[in-house]
Amino acid sequence: MSFNVSLISFFVLIIAYFILVEIFTVLFRLTGLREDKARFQAVSCMTNSGFTTRESELILNSAARRNLARVMMLFGYLFAVSGVSLLVNLFIRSSGDQINWMTILYSLVFLVVILVITRSKWIIRKFDELVERLAKNKTKGAFCNNVRILEMFHDKLIAEVFVTCIPPEIRDKTLLEMNFRHTYKLNVLLIKRGNIIMDHVISSDEIKQGDRVLIYGSKNNIMELFKDSI
C-alpha cells in the first residue's frame, strides 16, 4: 500500500470512528441512558477502557446494552488494529515512496471540514434523529422503554422503567387525570427526572420522556403499558 493510499485510509478510519461513536451513543440513549452517560459508554467500549465498577453496572444490567457493548468492543479492536497497521505503513512508506503533498493537503482539508461539521449541533441533532428513527424501525421497539426488574414478590415486582417512548394514553396527562393506579393497576413509587428525584409522587405529577420511573405492580401490566408504546 502506497503512502498516499495509507494516508487517505487513515483519515477515513478517523472519520468512521467518530460516526460510529455517534451512532452507538444514540443506540445507548435509546436503552434509557442519559446523553452524557451514553456517550461515555460508547467511547469506553470503542477504546476498551474507561469503565468503573459503577458505570459498568449500567451495561451489565441490560441485555440490549450488553449486546451493543459487545459489538462496539469488536469494532474498537478492529479500529485499533487497523489504525496501528496504517500508522506503521505510513512510517515505512514515508522514507521510500514519493510523497504527493497535494494528496496530504486535500486530506487535511477534508478532515478539517468533517471535524467542523461534527461540531455543528444542528447537523448532529439531525443525524441523531435519523439514526434513532432507523433504529426504532429496524428493531421494532426493542429499544423502547427499557424495563429493569429490581425485586420480585410472588406475582408482583418492582421495576425501573427508562421512559424513552411515551405511551399515547398517558402522554401529557397527570396521574390523577388518567386514574393511573386503578386504570393500569400500577403504583408509581418514584420518578427521577434528570438530577431531580421525586420520591413523593403526587396525583398532579406526569410521566415524561426521559424519566426513570420506579413502579410496583404485575409484570404483565408494566410490560403491556410501557413496551407496546411505539
Fold of 146-226: Alpha-Beta Plaits (3.30.70)
pLDDT for res 58: 64
Q: What is the pLDDT along the chain (230 residues), one digit of tens a residue?
A: 676 777 778 888 888 888 899 999 988 877 767 677 788 888 888 887 755 555 666 676 667 778 888 898 899 888 888 888 887 877 776 665 566 667 677 777 877 887 787 778 888 888 888 888 887 676 655 567 777 778 888 889 898 898 888 888 898 999 999 999 999 999 999 999 988 999 899 999 999 988 999 999 998 899 889 874 43
Domain boundaries, the chain: 3-139, 146-226
Specify the pTM: 0.60
So what's the pLDDT on residue 194?
84
Residue from 150, 155, 173, 168 nearest 220 by CA: 155
Q: What is the pLDDT of residue 230?
A: 34
Q: Are 217 and 186 in contact (CB under 8 A)?
A: yes
Picking from 161, 162, 168, the residue whose alpha carbon sits closest to that of residue 221 is 161
Place of cell 486535500: 106
Give me the DSSP letters along the chain: --HHHHHHHHHHHHHHHHHHHHHHHHHHHHTT--HHHHHHHHHHHHHT----HHHHHHHHT-HHHHHHHHHHHHHHHHHHHHHHHHHHHHHHHTTTSPP-HHHHHHHHHHHHHHHHHHT-HHHHHHHHHHHHHHHHHHHTTTTSSEEEEEEEETTEEEEEEE-SS--GGGTT-BTTTTTHHHHH-EEEEEEEETTEEE-S--TT-B--TT-EEEEEEEHHHHHHHHTT--
Which pLDDT value is given to residue 65? Answer: 79
